[in-house]
Chain A
């Protein structure tokens, strides 16, 4: 059987049922066909939220170069998933969680930065985060997101010396995302001297998808 020709004919997204219908074969046979296609790199399997498999059949795919890139690591570690505009790979080294956070900050995209808040749970090397942030002049931005993340997730405590150095850093731009300020996190804004671009409701969206119990926030309006 010419598997490449089949992939060209059937290019698109399928479930097992729709693939077996399209080919006019039994489900068991469809599993075997998809297995053969996957062996040849002609199908990629993804899972939707409830665990159902989706099969993306494509006659031509990219050869795997290097290790996981920004979007893949972000999506693996954050409850909020980002649509990848392109495949990002890193050759010759592994991208670290700390690099992902800094890269997210540099994008200045609200959705990507929101997704990165969940990634702070995985940070182990605070010194690396500090050094990377220092290179970009974003120590306070990273620190403010760390404080925000700690309000919602179980995040490892940052070494007090690093925390102190981050707070002492000069701030060039008070905005993490231009013109966006927070109504709900004034305490963090005051502590770090930068504006948080999110409100409580934004972060709750993140928490709901993670199914993490969100701690009650001290509201500014509560007496």
Chain B
């Protein structure tokens, strides 16, 4: 487990090893540590580089620093995992599983911290929820519930982003989001019904489009 102090030291360590400027987004639990949420520790540090080139450069830096490559992804949207005695770092590039880094998401960045040559940008709490929904681990659901309990989530942003992701990114994104929010709702955490209805509508429309285009297995009349 790593807390904000440990994370700051890690980023400063990486930033000092970088010989050129690199920008990365802190997502998930790493991003939550930058806010004063109740969560004060995270299992692993998740960062997203904005380009594959930056990711390759960071991988080289981590390799030189003595981190061991633990997971090598088969797809670009999956992370490289680097581990050391004290730290686990997942490094994505451009997308996180089923979610792409959008311009709107970059516009919602709340904070940028320069750790030497490494600039870490902190995504908004709404975007943390969105990035949590695609990983769908128990811990992620709990983190998202924590955010919803402690923060007035701007749900219109969540809906706008899910529409963008469906249009420009992975078509299945809204399905993941709907399942995720519904599970949270069933756990007793306040997710507005209107939000659930809108997200379901977007995912249903997308499924119908897929079925009508003949890419699905079921044929739809009309």
Binding site for B on A (CB under 8 A): 4, 8, 11, 41, 59-63, 65-66, 69, 86-92
Is B37 in contact with chain A by the CB < 8 A criterion? yes
Find A66's partner among B113, B122, B151 (CB 8 Å cutoff): B113
Find chain A residues with CB under 8 A from B11 CB: 91
A11-B152, A59-B150, A65-B8 given; A91·B34 CB < 8 A: no
B12 touches A89 (CB 8 A): no
From DSSP, what is the main secondary structure of chain B's interface residues?
mixed
Find chain A residues with CB under 8 A from B34 CB: 62-63, 65
A63 touches B35 (CB 8 A): yes
A4-B150, A86-B110, A87-B110 given; A63·B115 CB < 8 A: no
Find chain A residues with CB under 8 A from B33 CB: 63
A62 touches B110 (CB 8 A): yes
Task: Write the B1-29 contact mask toward A (1 if CB under 8 angstroms, else 0).
Answer: 00010001001100110000000000000
Find A59's partner among B15, B109, B152 (CB 8 Å cutoff): B152
A60 touches B116 (CB 8 A): no
Count class of interface residues, chain B:
20 to 34
Is B112 in contact with chain A by the CB < 8 A criterion? yes
A89 touches B4 (CB 8 A): no
A60 touches B37 (CB 8 A): yes
Find chain B residues with CB under 8 A from A66 CB: 8, 113-114
Q: Which of B36, B109, B152 has the most CB of A within 10 A?
A: B36
Find chain A residues with CB under 8 A from B152 CB: 8, 11, 59
Is B183 in contact with chain A by the CB < 8 A criterion? no
B35 touches A62 (CB 8 A): yes
Find chain B residues with CB under 8 A from A62 CB: 34-36, 110-111, 122
With the chains together, A59 CA to B36 CA distance in Å? 9
With the chains together, A218 CA to B34 CA distance in Å? 52
A90 touches B4 (CB 8 A): no
Find chain A residues with CB under 8 A from B125 CB: 60
B36 touches A61 (CB 8 A): yes
With the chains together, A91 CA to B10 CA distance in Å? 12
Find chain B residues with CB under 8 A from A63 CB: 4, 33-36
Find chain A residues with CB under 8 A from B116 CB: 91-92
B12 touches A92 (CB 8 A): yes
With the chains together, A56 CA to B110 CA distance in Å? 16
Nearest CB of B to A201, in Å: 31
Nearest CB of B to A57, in Å: 11
With the chains together, A88 CA to B112 CA distance in Å? 5
A86 touches B150 (CB 8 A): no
Find chain B residues with CB under 8 A from A65 CB: 4, 8, 34, 111, 113
Closest 10 CB pairs of A and B: A87-B111, A60-B151, A89-B113, A90-B114, A91-B115, A86-B109, A65-B113, A62-B111, A60-B35, A88-B112
B128-183 residues at the A interface, CB under 8 angstroms: 150-152
With the chains together, A88 CA to B119 CA distance in Å? 10
Q: Which of A8, A63, A90 has the most CB of B within 10 A?
A: A63
Q: Which of B4, B15, B151 has the most CB of A within 10 A?
A: B151
Nearest CB of A to B217, in Å: 44
Find chain B residues with CB under 8 A from A59 CB: 150-152
With the chains together, A122 CA to B213 CA distance in Å? 65
A8-B152, A60-B37, A63-B4 given; A88·B115 CB < 8 A: no
